[in-house]
Structure 1
């Protein structure tokens, strides 16, 4: 991977990775540090076995693993989590489709932020990081049944939150 390709990858995926990690750890500033650390580690090691298409997924996984290690360290030292500091997303391009996608993403993000932290973390690992229930249970040191319960709770709450937002949008439309 050339330096130019790496820079393009960074510019394309940095904000998304930061949002993903911030949803896990509830701290935007620390999330940025952890994502930057993942990009630096990748650049320093540059695994030769990866094809170009899998590089973003690899770096994303590194960033999420950094977040999980951060949480584990915080939990072990007894430090309480800080409230999530929301930041503005990157400006969307001017096309209407991209604006709609960004608005939808923001609504989903707000709904995710309404979940209890443990439930949100399990949901993100399952749906965004595509980890199996067993992998999540091992990573977080919880039972598979607890993972199932968190996913069920998350889906119920997200459906309710997004349905009410959809109904509000529909009422404003009429």
Structure 2
């Protein structure tokens, strides 16, 4: 029931009205579903700003297509599937971009597909990822905050409530493991992969 004692409109009723141009009905859907959709997106992405962008883009797309889009099942179900698809596309785009950047780093160091094939690069990168996963939990957590998010020692220290010196020790330990694991490999391809991951300074120390 509404504050005025009127029966609350269902999602389907609101969507039917929104499809005919009723902006208030669309705004009601927005207010009703925004919190749950944001929670869904944030749970998958772990970055609030990106989660907000995903949900906002979904509602913008929904509004732009309101006169032509036919939702055959529940509106809530449609919206949550849209979040899942949008998150999947965002993650896929991120992974593609990361791989492209790493391949570009290889080319900048003088390696081409003739010297180091994409398959060999992927094998090297997979080995690097596997080694990182075997690091002790706290060491891996620090290392990934540095590698994946590009955080500095002080930022990581604040994030994990530890000292910058402790952060440095974890990073050095991780790099020592990498040097030990990949010591038999040609150093240049490893440095190229590391450079694309923000690790060059440590590996070259």
The bucket for the TM-score relative to the shorter chain is 0.3 to 0.5
Larger radius of gyration: 2
Tell which has more relative contact order, 1 or 2 (C-alpha 8 A, sep 6+).
1
Q: TM-score, normalised by structure 2?
A: 0.37
